[in-house]
Amino acid sequence: MSLLETVHSPAGLRELTAAQLDVLAAEIREFLIDRVAGSGGHLGPNLGVVELTIALHSVFDSPRDRLLWDTGHQSYVHKILTGRAGGFDRLRKGGGLSGYPSAAESEHDLVENSHASTALSYADGLARADAHQGRRDRSTVAVIGDGAMTGGMAWEALNNISGGPDRPLIIVLNDNGRSYAPTQGGFADHLGGLREGRPGPALFEQLGLSYLGPVDGHDITTLQHTLREARALRRPVVVHVVTEKGRGCVHTENNELDRGHAIRPMDPVTGEPLGTSTGPSFTSVFGREIARIAQERPEVVAITAAMLEPTGLLPMQKLFPERVIDVGIAEQHAVTMAAGLSLGGVHPVVAIYATFVNRAFDQVLMDVALHRRAVTFVLDRSGVTGDDGPSHNGMWDMSVLQVVPGLRIAAPRDGTRLAELLEEAVGWEEGPTLVRFPKGPTGEDIPTKGVFSGLDVLHRAGPLDVLIVSVGALAGMALRVAELVWAQGLGATVVDPRWVTPVNPAIGDMARRHRLVITVEDNSRTAGVGSTVAQHLRDAGVRTPLREFGIPRRFLDHGSRADVLSGCGLTAQNISRTVVEELSGNQEPAAPVRLGSLDEEMARLMDQGSRGETR
């Protein structure tokens, strides 16, 4: 029996010798490589914290002592040592282990904490709560990566931690020189100086914090000694731990781009990806097109928040390294800096994940939109991403950002539309624009059957029963709905607005002539595109009933994108069934077509539909 099979809780670590702990570390690395290679996930960050996690759990008494992980993608070893090794066969799958800490999984997890730079604020609050209640029998420990320290919120917390009364709060700075890619900025240079032993005090000491380190993050005995010393201080202290991201796996150690930060399923021996290619991703299409646009338009500059390769900016960075700016995990700064670039005559393209734009809402609203700056936002991973869990679904951007005056929002349905809409967005100089697209392959292009006042008509068949307004990548589902309702003797028109905000008035023109309107989007139903279209129809005096299909107002568990969408009722079968039921109870005929109110092509299409003909 391996040592790993005998350790079911942190208490078991304290029964092992130093030599046995080293053996355990090797076994955990082997376990991680095998399991994560099979499922995909954050391999590199966890290979780097094996010894550190063992040391933390052997010195501190979790869950009495509170351990926080920033960001939580480095918590796999923590999960193994707290009795969850058996769940790794279903890592990031529905009903299996989350890829981040999860209070629903274990008493050893306090917060989900998968958005960076937050752990120090949580820790400050926990330590203050203990002080308020007179508790001095436990410690609060926040493990934060040097990449997460590039976020402004971490520095706001440090300012308050160092400025308050002494409390037993330990900040473990996991310094591997990287977030996703190498860490950027002056703080990274300062840590480099500390690692190399350059003279001068640590910045933390100048802030009034105690400082221990730098410490070899792969020497368990030294780590244990230093952590015990930090605990004995009974005041805020920074323990500077130097680790190697991706340590112990040749495929991650040799990957200088990201050190195996987040891998797809792969062969653990060869490192080759498993499965077959499913065509170009939305991200790769964006990367190709923004590089092309940058060649044609010298005023275009791109900005990323520590996500150069994941957001597709690597091709542009290789062509124009001076025109791609990585600000670290600092979305707020990225957006306001973009406003400044625009003021200076540059057209910035801010490429971030949809889930992270939430963090910069105030800057989008007050620093960009209020001043009508021509900034283009490109939101990757919009809609349901699935396996990364509730915090990483990009399901709020259209709800949150549709309230921003002057912001135009585009949702391309395929690769060709992404290229077209990105070109239009960057060419718009009257205010901000936004292009959103999902994680994954573009699939085959969905052709336009006709254009009606700026709306792409994707399908027109049968009577004018239901108008389906399809948003972005759910166009394929919308077309399948049209097929299913046709099988029930009902006609359908499917349109893609391309630009979903502001609402194209042509939707109102078409809605008047149908018995029912539905909207289909992978965004929250609350304040989503459907809600905005409904408001537009009311304002235009259109009485046609509308049903919105989208994501319910709740956090979604991790799982495959298909499973999560199905759990939300976003399937063609469910939507078509609802449409048939709605129309069965709505016997009011569609309004007659008034020729002249529509362009000639759409008038012909709708006239055919009113006679029951198909196109």
Alpha helices, DSSP H only, in 40-185? Answer: 43-47, 50-59, 76-79, 119-132, 152-163
Q: How far apart are CA 237 and CA 205, in angstroms?
A: 9
What is the mean pLDDT of the segment spanning 538-560?
90
Write down the H helix ranges in 196-281.
Answer: 203-206, 220-233, 250-253
Of 335, 382, 336, nearest to 355 by C-alpha is 382
Q: Is 318 part of the annotated catalytic residue set? A: no
CA–CA separation, 221 vs 589, rounded Å? 79
Cα dihedral 535, 425, 599, 518, rounded to 10, equals: -40
483 sits in which H/E element: helix 475-486
Among the listed residues 433, 550, 557, 446, the one whose alpha carbon sits nearest the alpha carbon of residue 502: 433
Annotated binding residue at 148? Answer: yes
C-alpha distance from residue 12 to each of 15, 58, 67, 504 (Å): 6, 8, 17, 63
Task: Lay out the sheet containing 450-452: strands in order across.
Answer: 450-452, 455-461, 492-496, 466-470, 516-524, 546-551
Closest CA to 555 of 563, 546, 564: 564
Q: In the sheet where 324-326 sits, what is the strand order?
A: 324-326, 300-304, 347-353, 376-380, 433-436, 408-410, 499-501
DSSP code at position 47: H
Would strands 455-461 and 450-452 be described as parallel, antiparallel, or unpaired?
antiparallel
The answer on whether 176 is annotated among ligand-binding residues is yes
Kind of pairing, strands 516-524 and 546-551?
A: parallel
Name which residue leads in pLDDT, 464 or 605. 464
Q: Which of 89-93, 196-200, 250-254, 544-548 has the highest mean pLDDT?
A: 544-548
Residue 392 counted as an annotated binding residue: no
To the query of whether residue 331 is one of the catalytic residues in this protein, the response is: yes
Q: Residues 112, 331, 521, 548: which is the catalytic one?
A: 331
Residue 225 is labelled as binding a ligand: no
pLDDT of residue 223: 98
pLDDT digits (tens, 9 = 90+) for 439-450: 999 999 999 999
pLDDT digits (tens, 9 = 90+) for 478-508: 999 999 999 999 999 999 999 999 999 999 9
Full set of structural domains in the chain with CATH? 4-253 (3.40.50.970), 282-436 (3.40.50.970), 450-610 (3.40.50.920)
Catalytic residue status for 92: no
Q: Rounded mean pLDDT of 148-170?
A: 90
Q: Which two three-digit tokens encode residue 422? A: 């990105």
SS3 481: helix
590 in a labelled binding site: no
Provide the residue type at 583 as one letter.
L
Percent of the chain with pLDDT over 70: 94
